[in-house]
Amino acid sequence: MANTVTIEAAARERAGKGAARATRGQGRVPAVIYGAKQAPTLISLEPKVLTRELSRAGWQSRLYEITGIDGASTRALIRDVQYHPVSDKPLHVDFQRLAPGQEIRVSVPVHFEGEGISPGLKRGGVLNVVRHTVEVFADPDRLPERFEADLSQLDINDNIRWHDLKGIEGLRPAILDRDFVIATVAPPTKMAEPAAEPAAAAAPAAAAAPAKGGAGGKGAPAGKPAAAAAKPAASAKPAARK
């Protein structure tokens, strides 16, 4: 279950912003270990080792064995990391010391598998992830590095809940009042538009066509009135008066 990684650290003598800047100036990352009803322990870490661990998924729930401090080792979890706002390099790390037999509250990441064969996703459904991590109470020695969610059988409108996750045996979720949702397969967000009916498109064209003349004759040009009535025949001479 639990995966423990060993990290070598060096002790620091002073706390405070000035001391932390001095540690970073020496090419190391300042850190602190607290908890288990003991005084905080100031340490520094090698940047390459720390960056490697933070780039691996699941470091929030990974156990660390911190060595190199007064010849002893300390089991701890990474609880917080401060990053540089521009370079995104770690500036400071907070570790929580683990006491023997102490149950801890920790966030465990969820890994999704089977997306390529999910019936709902193959039909255009959209995976809506509600929780990327799940908070649980657990014995550190039984803490999984991640939970697995199988999507291979999900159709549209189906979901994955807490009880569906793999690796939850012996763990107690922080949410106890319901079997909460982890992810759902939502219907497609874009539907195809229906094609326009041919008859509806042809109607305006037919109405715009010019009317033809009656049988046996050509109609008058479009836009011109019909010819006026024929002029009277040449006026006959008036009858002679008797």
Whether residue 66 is contained in a domain is answered as yes
Assigned domain for 226 exists: no
User: Residue 54 in 3-state DSSP?
Assistant: helix
- Among 186, 218, 237, give the residue marking a domain's end: 186
**Which position has the higher pLDDT, 84 or 4?**
84
Q: For the beta carbon of residue 160, count every other beta carbon within 10 angstroms.
A: 23
The pLDDT score that the predictor gives to residue 226 is: 45
The predicted structure's pLDDT at residue 87:
92
- For residues 91 and 80, give the distance between their C-alpha atoms in angstroms, rounded to a whole number: 11
Q: Are residues 83 and 133 in the same domain?
A: no
Write out pLDDT tens, residues 167-201.
Answer: 999 899 999 999 999 999 999 976 555 555 555 55
Closest CA to 29 of 43, 18, 45, 16: 45
Shared domain check, 127 and 74: no
**3-state SS class at 93:** strand
For residue 96, the enclosing domain spans: 4-101
Bridge partners of 95, per DSSP, are 33, 78
State pLDDT tens for residues 216-242.
444 444 444 444 444 444 444 444 444
Domain termination residue (choose one: 38, 72, 101):
101
Exposed e or buried b per residue across 8-19, where buried means at least 16 C-beta atoms within 10 angstroms of its C-beta: ebeebeeeeeee
| CATH code of residue 139 | 2.170.120.20
- What does the chain come to in residues? 242
Per-residue model confidence as pLDDT tens digits over 65-81 = 999 887 788 999 999 99
**Contact (CB, 8 A) for 11 and 69:** yes
Which three-class secondary structure state does DSSP give residue 161?
strand
Do 18 and 97 fall within a single domain?
yes
Q: What is the pLDDT of residue 59?
A: 87
Say how many domains are in the chain. 2
How many CB atoms are located within 10 Å of the residue 191 CB?
Answer: 8
Same domain? For 23 and 78 the reply is yes
Cα torsion through 110, 36, 68, 80, rounded to 10: 40
CATH number for the domain harbouring residue 35 = 2.40.240.10
CB 66 within 8 A of CB 72: no
